[in-house]
Structure 1
Amino acid sequence: MRIFVAGGTGVVGRPLVRALVSHGHQVTASTHRADSMPVVADLGAQPVVMNGLDDDAVRRAVLDSAPEVIINQVTSLAAPAHDYRSWIALTNRLRREGTAILMSAARDAGARRVIAQSASFMTEPVGAGPTDESSPLYLDGPEPLRSHARANHAAEEQVTGMPGIEGVVLRYGFLYGAGTAIGPGGDIATAVQAGEMPIAGDGAGRYPFLHVDDAVSATVQAVSRGAAGIYNVVDDEPAAQADWLPYLAELLGAPAPRRLPEEQIEERFGVQAVYYGNQLRAAGNARAKAQLALTLAYPSWRLGFKEVFAQNT
């Protein structure tokens, strides 16, 4: 099958390209840097340089590869997260504007299916029990959460609303593993190791985690399985911040994290740190298991964290 991967050198993109090639697919993968083309070629795919916000470049890359399936993994999340608002700004544009450009190119190229990355941790912090794909997004939340939720929502509507294309949205959980913020040398792991990531209030926010390897396998499954629509792709054990943060600190041999009131967390880190740390609802994966045959190599973050940081234990 001919597959075009937009964003083929990122945390998910790189192992995804390798997995698709190993499954016998003919893969073209984009990178926004010419010096990363050999990386794509070494994975067994045809490389192409493409800025996700450049209409002409996207259209040319997609039309030239004539894909049956397009997978959108383009973000700007690999940059250091010094300030959440500015860090997320380019990814918001890629979600809103870049997705519109890519979907137009997909239609003109005659693609059958488009699979796009989104997030499972953008729901309103109200109600009890795990959220599902019908749970309302936090579209009226405080900034900068509101802009990010609205950008994700816009992208999801563009992917699932294009006539003639099977639009599949994979709402990944918080990714961990090699190359992520929760991986060796990552921003969160480094902050925890330095004792600089406190628990927000009661630490009741329930994080939906996902190992990078499971994100890849679910995405490969979505190439040929599942109806069009939205899927939460998360592990089986949503984790309260008050549970996972001390566990990670222990694995890293770091000091036990402090607990700070919400007001101090917001002042020091921003409103998003309060939302994730103390307000976020759990997310369920029943639909992905039923329709995508989601099978998790790491059903629990406890097992996954321990393996990722095995060198510290």
Structure 2
Amino acid sequence: MVRYAAQITTSQMSRASRLTFQEVEMRMFVAGATGTLGRPVVRALVSRGHDVIGLTRTQEGARRIKDMGARAVVGNALDAERLKALVVEARPDVVVHLLTALPPGGVTRKSQLRQTNELRTAGTANLIAASLAGGAHRIVAESFVGVYSGGSFSRPVSEDAPLPPPPEGPFRDTVLALRSLEDQLRAATASSGIETVALRIGFLYGSDVPSTRLMIDQARAGRLFLPAGLSGIAPFVHNDDAAAAIVAAIERPNVS
């Protein structure tokens, strides 16, 4: 988890103080509410008594959000004006950035990451602008361990370690998009004082995760990709555990 938090100003204290007590309801705007990570996050927030507004691009997505006990709004994060209007109307305490556009069957080629890359670059910019206009005091975003791509590490790496040069090859754009997401959050904190938190989450797994089903199918077929051959290590985290980390970053004051 990487935090770009700033000192909370006096004008923010009345709203930010509500984070001190988990049992006090907050209003959340969740972008990416119907995604692999968005669904368990929305369910967890609703179960904890928060007022949750989920962003989706389709009416079917809106129905799914409502079925989870949240409110739904329809819009595209790449439509800056529409997104800003939705967030301003919602007036959330916290905006949650879980935007992806990954295929239901899991990623099998570079082109399937193009829209997610755009959501992490242009979509992040739009969401930050909307959050500031809507008066949110914190943005919590899903980043990914892929930000470390391009380096060769012989020991555990801390969050303070400098990132290696981005790799060449088919996934360079994806790594750059992830780093853009984090850089934009850092810049937002520096320029406006809004609290921003990016969680560098590992590879998700679980019964409801498309990439898990894909890996099982590949393993059965003898085609499972292993990072760095047999010597590679890939960090995995269960979908529900990743959701719990997101919720903790939302609720706790002074996240670090």
Give yes or no for TM over 0.5. yes
Structure 1 position 150 matched with structure 2 position 180: no
**Measured at CA, do residues 198 and 148 of structure 1 come closer, stay the same or move farther in structure 2, by a change above 3 Å?**
closer
Structure 1 position 172 matched with structure 2 position 197: no
Structure 1 position 214 matched with structure 2 position 241: yes
User: Which 4+ stretches in 1 moved above 6 angstroms?
Assistant: none
Aligned residue number for residue 15 of structure 2: none
Structure 1 position 190 matched with structure 2 position 217: yes
CA shift for structure 1 position 83 = 4.5
**C-alpha contact 2:205 2:211 (8 A) present in aligned 1:** yes
Which amino acid in the other structure matches residue 180 of structure 1? Answer: V
Aligned residue number for residue 278 of structure 1: none
- Kindly tell me the number of residue pairs found equivalent between the two proteins: 227
SS in structure 2 of the partner of residue 9 of structure 1? coil
CA shift for structure 1 position 193 = 1.9
CA shift for structure 1 position 202 = 3.9
Per the normalisation by structure 2, the TM-score is: 0.82
SS in structure 2 of the partner of residue 218 of structure 1? helix
Cα displacement string for residues 166-189 of structure 1 (whole angstroms, at most 9, x for unaligned residues): 000011100000222343xx2111
Structure 1 position 6 matched with structure 2 position 35: no
Q: 1:203 aligns with which of 213, 217, 230?
A: 230
CA shift for structure 1 position 85 = 1.7
**C-alpha contact 1:120 1:171 (8 A) present in aligned 2:** yes
**C-alpha contact 1:32 1:49 (8 A) present in aligned 2:** yes
Distance 1:211 1:64 in 2: 34
Aligned residue number for residue 224 of structure 1: 251
Q: Which moved more, 1:126-135 or 1:70-79?
A: 126-135
CA shift for structure 1 position 70 = 0.4
- Structure 1, unpaired ranges of 5+: 229-290, 292-313
1:1-313 aligned within 5 A: 1-81=26-106, 83-123=108-148, 124-162=150-188, 163-183=192-212, 186-197=213-224, 199=226, 202-225=229-252, 227=254, 291=256
SS in structure 2 of the partner of residue 4 of structure 1? strand
Which amino acid in the other structure matches residue 81 of structure 2? Answer: D
Distance 1:81 1:182 in 2: 5
Distance 2:145 2:227 in 1: 20
SS in structure 2 of the partner of residue 121 of structure 1? helix
Distance 1:191 1:169 in 2: 31
Which amino acid in the other structure matches residue 122 of structure 2? Answer: E
Distance 1:198 1:110 in 2: 44
- Structure 2, unpaired ranges of 5+: 1-25
Aligned residue number for residue 295 of structure 1: none
CA shift for structure 1 position 42 = 1.1
Cα displacement string for residues 180-237 of structure 1 (whole angstroms, at most 9, x for unaligned residues): 2343xx2111111222225466421211110001011111100122646xxxxxxxxx
Cα displacement string for residues 70-127 of structure 1 (whole angstroms, at most 9, x for unaligned residues): 0011101234456432011111110000000000010111100000011013313223
